[in-house]
Structure 1
Amino acid sequence: MYCWCFQALIQFQSRQSAVNARSTLQGRNIYDGCCQLDIQFSNLEELQVNYNNDRSRDFTNPNLPTEQKGRPSQPGYGDAGNMYAAQGSGGRAVGFPQMANAAAIATAFGGGLPPGITGTNDRCTVLVSNLNSDRIDEDKLFNLFSIYGNIVRIKLLRNKPDHALIQMGDGFQAELAVHFLKGAVLFEKQLEVNFSKHAHITQGADTREYISSNLNRFNRNAAKNYRYCCSPTKIIHLSTLPQDITEEEIVSLVEEHGTVVNSKVFEMSGKKQALVQFENEEQATEALVCKNASTLSGSVVRISFSQLQNI
């Protein structure tokens, strides 16, 4: 069975309207059980529509002519040449433009970027090497790299077991991952993280898909998540916890990954959260990689690095 993957570009009157539409409709089905929407921001500033017909329409100008039969459609519709392309189902391109969440980025960083971040990278795929191949898998890599952006797909290289390709949501998120994770230590190995020469990871049997995962952090509260991006620290922050969680249960969840120096359970905006401080960054990183998305009393725990120096 062959499935077609159709695409369309839609221009709203305002940026906020586009943000609201994506937030509301992302992942919804057009029909019950099928035709799931994958909505991303385009890097085109303006759509030029010359004809009102079944392929294009300008709703602000109903007097446009109908396209003559046989005339080619407007360049740019479904043209990956103007997009940072990711391979989607059916082999068609899905755009993940650089700095797609421009408004969220500006809010998070107050109009400036963190030192060392240029905001000009357009490569979405990251190559990570010197992995501990005996202990790593796609989900653990997702847990670590999803702190810096949405994950499209991950591929462990079978001919190089200590290498993996990770396709991020856009070039800015990939730059954050490279900047903050280069040299991080995981499972007694110092990671080497660089931009890949591959524009995207081709979907296949040896790839793990995450584009529709509800564990991706940047579909909601993107500004908040950008603000918390940092290199691995000794302290992890746990959220989305059960309301009746205890400090002992939190420590029990993560203590196998290192020496717990201090811990604290607290409440913010009516929701239980926790901080756990380890002896070093490597132990905290291992706890995050292994225990993010764990289930406690029906709650899926989310773990990030905390920028606090001590608890």
Structure 2
Amino acid sequence: MSTSTQHQFRYTQTPSKVLHLRNLPWECSEEELVELCSPFGRIVNTKCNVGANRNQAFVEFVDQNQAISMVSYYASSSEPAHVRGKTVYIQYSNRHEIVNNKSPGDIPGNVLLVTIEGVEAGDVSIDVIHLVFSAFGFVHKIATFEKTAGFQALIQFTDAETAASARDALDGRSIPRYLLPDHVGSCNLRISYSAHKDLNIKFQSNRSRDYTNPMLPVNHSAIEGAVQPTIGPDGKRIEPESNVLLASIENMQYAVTVEVINTVFSAFGTVQKIAMFEKNGQTQALVQYPDVTAAAAAREALEGHCIYDGGYCKLHLSYSRHTDLNVKV
């Protein structure tokens, strides 16, 4: 079957001025849909984030011929339709108009989707976001990420009423200047509702926080890691000593818990704090002693030591640049 016949065969559906788009990026925005479709005609309605995976959408043109021209263009083009690098499949819808004009962003919920315009990801810290939105009620969780739309945050409140009061007060406003770095100009907030009800936060980090679960492990992205050693005149490494050790655990055949780490390291002094996290698929722990002497003794004795017989759970230790861990009790 030649390509032309294949294309004809694929599009034997009845034309409609409503197109059905599949395989879109997750939580694709209305702006992205309009950008893709508007070259072919005037769009009168859209319905985003449809389907179980929220990766389908409907777009309604003012005139059926405009929808036909879009389908025909991509049917004969060697370059498929793309949004954020994903190939989008376009076909006629079996509906002839979009009835429900309420996009998910208009349906009230307890989670807000906040786009922070005019900033890079590192410009607005998660603590600043928390401070701004806490003025309206208890913030349960925050997750931040970068999308083509810009730097975004999902902010979870107790209920839709609290979220609505924050949205009404802050949508279109700017984060106060004194909370931002000097190089940032204006910083507008665009706020809609998210379809999420409960965010799944696995780690406390500089990108995500769960304020309801202080026992959550701290992720490596929130921790600078170990000090880069300097090399002495004899070619050997000189590491600045610290009262906090960074322990990497190799060959983990058995679970290593905070309790296990505490038992092993307590032999050398009082262990004040422990933070465990995953980095590049490896379990690591930060262990804080009251002073450098205890940490140095532990490092000397435990480097290369296995927690369990048979070479299991081998410890590699270095000094951390931390001196006081921020572990939420």
TM-score w.r.t. the length of structure 1 is: 0.28
The structure having more radius of gyration, on CA atoms, is 2
Identify, as 1 or 2, the structure richer in strand: 2
Higher relative contact order (CA 8 A, sep 6+): 1
TM-score by length of 2: 0.26
